[in-house]
């Protein structure tokens, strides 16, 4: 009985001493976060150099992924902008009988503005239309020659008053058509010989809009595919690095290296790959766009928004995004590999 | 300093335990040889001490710490308290002699200034001060083992365990290594060396613990003449050959 009690007391004492020793041991570790991190970065950098071929392959794939991501975003933006630009150029012109007065035109404007699809309305009397015509032909000597007072009177008497309408949604013109065709005031004043058309350029706009959609969807699919490939390559690179250094890792564990000290260099290595890939992709994308943008603009594609970004201070932000994206891809894939293959380390 | 109380370990697939009810007490500052043929259980015992393996039953207390309470998160810190020397040296191949020794201090969180001060002293102790800039492949086996010892003692551990440190070395180099371990023991470090080299055991006249088929069959406190083939037979029937399971079992590595 006494012996049993002694054993229990001894056990308790041993437990207390062990736990205290372990606690002291943890405390006494000369922890210095900056110094430890610096050492991990140093080993990671050395590892990058040591596996230069694998590192280069991983960097290239990551750079390609980032470039594809950039192209996807840019294509989507410029095609959407081009479609918007073309939509903005579209207006519906309604011709009224010559000499329709400004008061009537104002009433007509008030009527059409009731439609929520109306973006802007611009009216013009016969006199204003004549002035516009003359301004457009100011250099045309033949016209100037025949335009005496009498001719001017005839011209003004023949020219229709107009209403130019811009809409928010070119695909939804039925309500406007309904007003123009059924409203009594419109019916009384519209020039029946010059009926407005409601499907101008709609086909072209449709094409560009669908291209923008394709660019967005296709680009996202392509980007995701390359992202996965990129992560898999980095994953394999780190796995191979872990495999080739398994003895070293085993030794590190046996001499008491902390988990962070063993894993850290692999993460740093992948982050370096990502950083370099980000810089390379940024430079290639920048100069690639600069080279292609005049050609694209020649085809009537609106590249102004991207050009503005690349020519402003936001360029730094774009480069930083490339680098951060690269580092993130590297870190995520390395984390996966390290988690899978150094789980017990 | 090292206490094993009724420790048993059996690997899955083996018919016999690798360690069978082992009890061993090693006092501070002792120099102990752990001898036995291959498969006797020496390496398993070492792995228990380094916490690479855990016993199925029994208690292990190292330097006052009951290893039952050493959780996964404590293992690196616990291992930093030990010095470990391996048969195959386990040096970092792409790092110089200096960097290999410095690494052990870096992971312990020692400042660069202290590392710069400590490493040359340790290299001097192992007589490699003039080889600091060389890489492991430029050194002889004996020199590599001395680097390994330097790395182990750089943090001044109270316990140094050496698993067959002379197995790959010639007679003269073996003597040099054992002399070096003796020198470290004279500084106050408890040393446990596994070996199956009769010569070094008999020359040094230190405590010899003999393992056979996972059991301690002899413990000569004051040294003596040891003959590997004449080790006493354990009371239990001996396992004469390794089981196929033992041969096929994958190496138990931390990674």
Residue A343: predicted pLDDT: 57
Are residue A327 and residue A210 in the same domain, yes or no? yes
Residue B32 lies in a domain: no
Q: Using CA atoms, how far apart are residues A216 and A147, in angstroms rounded to an integer?
A: 55
**What is the SS3 assignment for A138?**
coil
Residue A91: predicted pLDDT: 76
Are residue A257 and residue A295 in the same domain, yes or no? yes
Residue A202: predicted pLDDT: 64
Using CB atoms, pick whichever of A25, A247, A342 lies closest to residue B90. A247
Residue B238: predicted pLDDT: 32
Q: Please, which contacts does A178-187 make with residues 24 or more away whose CB atoms are closer than 8 Å? A: A179/A111, A179/A112, A179/A114, A179/A115, A180/A94, A180/A112, A183/A111, A185/A104, A185/A107, A185/A108, A185/A111, A186/A94, A186/A108, A186/A111
Residue A269 lies in a domain: yes
What does the pLDDT profile of chain B (255 residues) look like in tens digits? 788 888 999 988 888 899 998 899 898 889 999 988 888 888 899 999 998 899 999 889 888 888 888 888 888 888 888 888 988 888 888 789 999 999 888 887 788 888 999 999 999 988 899 999 999 999 998 899 999 999 988 888 889 999 888 887 888 888 888 888 898 898 888 999 998 877 788 777 888 998 988 899 888 776 555 554 554 444 443 332 333 333 333 344 333
Using CB atoms, pick whichever of A19, A32, A261 lies closest to residue B107. A261
Q: Using CA atoms, how far apart are residues A234 and A273, in angstroms rounded to an integer?
A: 9
Burial A311-328 (b: 16+ CB within 10 A, else e): eeeeeeebbebbbebbbe
In this structure, what CATH number is given to the domain that contains residue A121? 3.30.70
Q: What mean pLDDT do residues A188-194 have?
A: 78
- Helix A202-244, helix A259-298: angle, nearest 10: 150
Who has greater pLDDT, A227 or B70? Answer: B70
The overall pTM is greater than 0.80: no
Residue A309: predicted pLDDT: 86
Q: What mean pLDDT do residues A275-282 have?
A: 94
Domain span at residue B150 reads 90-156
A147 pLDDT above the threshold of 80: no
Residue A192: predicted pLDDT: 74
A45 pLDDT above the threshold of 60: yes
Residue B242 lies in a domain: no
Final residue before a domain boundary, out of A153, A168, A200: A200
Are residue A321 and residue A175 in the same domain, yes or no? no
Judge if ipTM > 0.85. Answer: no
Compute the nearest-CA separation of A46 from chain B (Å): 10
- The helix (run of H) or strand (run of E) holding residue A202 is helix A202-244
Are residue A131 and residue A229 in the same domain, yes or no? no
A242 pLDDT above the threshold of 90: no
Are residue A141 and residue A171 in the same domain, yes or no? yes
Kindly report the average pLDDT of chain A as a whole number. Answer: 80
Q: Which residue of B has its CA nearest to A23?
A: B74
A161 pLDDT above the threshold of 60: yes
Q: Using CA atoms, how far apart are residues A168 and A166, in angstroms rounded to an integer?
A: 7
Using CB atoms, pick whichever of B90, B94, B112 lies closest to residue A251. B90
Residue B248: predicted pLDDT: 34
Residue B109 lies in a domain: yes
Q: Do B77 and A30 touch (CB under 8 A)?
A: no
Q: Do B79 and A242 touch (CB under 8 A)?
A: no
Are residue A121 and residue A68 in the same domain, yes or no? no
Residue B148: predicted pLDDT: 92
Are residue A77 and residue A209 in the same domain, yes or no? yes
Using CB atoms, pick whichever of B50, B90, B94 lies closest to residue A50. B94
Residue B38 CA from chain centroid, whole number: 15
Structure tokens at A79: 């095609």
Rounded to 5 degrees, φ, ψ at A98 are -55, 150
Compute the nearest-CA separation of A272 from chain B (Å): 20
- The helix (run of H) or strand (run of E) holding residue A165 is strand A160-167
Q: Using CA atoms, how far apart are residues B159 and B190, in angstroms rounded to an integer?
A: 5
Final residue before a domain boundary, out of A166, A200, A234: A200
Q: Which stretches within chain B are classed as H helix?
A: 42-49, 75-80, 97-107, 112-125, 141-153, 171-186, 198-204, 244-248
- Helix A314-341, helix A52-89: angle, nearest 10: 140
Compute the nearest-CA separation of B151 from chain A (Å): 9
Are residue A324 and residue A243 in the same domain, yes or no? yes
Percent of chain A predicted with pLDDT > 70: 90
Range name among A2-16, A47-61, A246-260 with the lowest pLDDT average: A2-16
Q: Using CA atoms, how far apart are residues B52 and A255, in angstroms rounded to an integer?
A: 12
pLDDT for A121-135, tens place per residue? 888 888 888 888 888
Compute the nearest-CA separation of A278 from chain B (Å): 29
Q: Do B107 and A257 touch (CB under 8 A)?
A: yes
Are residue A136 and residue A226 in the same domain, yes or no? no
Are residue A187 and residue A246 in the same domain, yes or no? no
Residue A205: predicted pLDDT: 64
Beta-carbon contacts of B122 under 8 Å, excluding residues fewer than 6 positions away, are: B101, B150, B153, B154
Residue B80 lies in a domain: no
Domain span at residue A95 reads 91-200
A70 pLDDT above the threshold of 80: yes
Number of domains forming the structure of chain B: 1
- Categorize the per-residue pLDDT at A31 as very low, low, confident or very high, splitting at 50, 70 and 90: low
Final residue before a domain boundary, out of A144, A176, A200: A200
Q: Do A256 and B61 touch (CB under 8 A)?
A: no
A interface test, pick of B107, B118, B157 with most A CB neighbours within 10 Å: B107
Number of domains forming the structure of chain A: 2
Who has greater pLDDT, B112 or A9? Answer: B112
């Amino acid at each position: 009985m006494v012996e049993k009690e002694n054993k229990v007391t001894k056990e308790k004492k041993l437990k207390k001493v062990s736990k205290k020793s372990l606690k002291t041991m943890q405390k006494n570790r000369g922890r210095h976060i900056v110094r430890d991190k610096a050492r991990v970065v140093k080993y990671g950098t050395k590892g990058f150099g040591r596996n230069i071929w694998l590192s280069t392959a991983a960097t290239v794939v990551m750079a390609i992924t980032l470039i594809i991501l950039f192209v996807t975003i840019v294509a989507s933006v410029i095609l959407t902008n081009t479609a918007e630009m073309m939509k903005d150029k579209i207006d519906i012109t309604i011709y009224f009988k010559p000499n329709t007065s400004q008061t009537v035109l104002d009433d007509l404007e008030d009527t059409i503005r009731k439609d929520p699809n109306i973006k802007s309305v611009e009216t013009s009397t016969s006199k204003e239309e004549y002035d516009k015509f003359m301004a457009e032909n100011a250099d045309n000597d033949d016209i100037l020659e025949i335009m005496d007072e009498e001719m001017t009177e005839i011209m003004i008497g023949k020219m229709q008053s107009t209403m130019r309408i811009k809409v928010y949604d070119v695909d939804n013109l039925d309500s406007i058509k309904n007003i123009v065709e059924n409203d009594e005031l419109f019916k009384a004043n519209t020039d029946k010989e010059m009926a407005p058309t409601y499907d101008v350029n709609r086909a072209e706009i449709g094409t560009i809009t669908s291209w923008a959609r394709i660019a967005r969807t296709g680009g996202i699919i392509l980007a995701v595919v390359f992202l996965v490939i990129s992560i898999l390559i980095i994953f394999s690179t780190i796995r191979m690095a872990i495999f080739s250094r398994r003895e070293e890792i085993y030794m590190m564990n046996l001499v008491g290296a902390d988990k962070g000290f063993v894993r850290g260099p692999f993460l740093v290595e992948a982050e370096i790959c990502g950083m370099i890939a980000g810089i390379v992709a940024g430079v290639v994308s920048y100069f690639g766009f600069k080279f292609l943008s005049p050609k694209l603009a020649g085809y009537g594609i609106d590249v102004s928004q991207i050009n503005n970004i690349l020519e402003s201070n936001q360029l730094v932000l774009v480069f930083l995004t490339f680098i951060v994206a690269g580092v993130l891809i590297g870190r995520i894939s390395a984390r996966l590999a390290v988690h899978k293959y150094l789980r017990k380390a | 300093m090292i206490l094993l109380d009724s420790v048993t370990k059996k690997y899955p697939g083996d018919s016999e335990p690798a360690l069978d009810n082992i009890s061993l007490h090693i006092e501070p500052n002792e120099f102990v040889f752990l001898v036995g043929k291959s498969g006797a259980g020496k390496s398993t015992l070492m792995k228990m001490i380094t916490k690479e393996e855990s016993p199925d039953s029994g208690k292990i207390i190292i330097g006052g710490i009951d290893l039952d309470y050493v959780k996964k998160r404590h293992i690196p810190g616990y291992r930093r308290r030990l010095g470990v020397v391996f048969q195959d040296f386990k040096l970092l191949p792409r790092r110089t002699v200096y960097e290999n020794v410095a690494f052990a201090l870096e992971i312990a969180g020692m400042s660069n200034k202290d590392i710069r001060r400590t490493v040359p002293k340790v290299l001097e102790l192992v007589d490699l001060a003039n080889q600091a800039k060389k890489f492991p492949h430029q050194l002889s086996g004996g020199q590599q083992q001395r680097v390994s010892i330097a790395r182990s003692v750089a943090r001044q551990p109270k316990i140094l365990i050496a698993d067959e440190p002379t197995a790959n070395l010639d007679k003269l180099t073996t003597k040099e290594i054992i002399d070096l371990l003796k020198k470290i023991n004279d500084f106050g470090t408890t040393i446990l060396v596994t070996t199956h080299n009769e010569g070094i055991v008999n020359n040094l006249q230190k405590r010899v613990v003999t393992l056979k088929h996972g059991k301690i069959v002899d413990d000569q406190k004051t040294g003596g003449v040891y003959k590997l083939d004449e080790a006493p037979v354990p009371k239990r029937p001996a396992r004469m050959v390794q089981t196929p399971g033992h041969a096929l079992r994958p190496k138990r590595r931390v990674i």
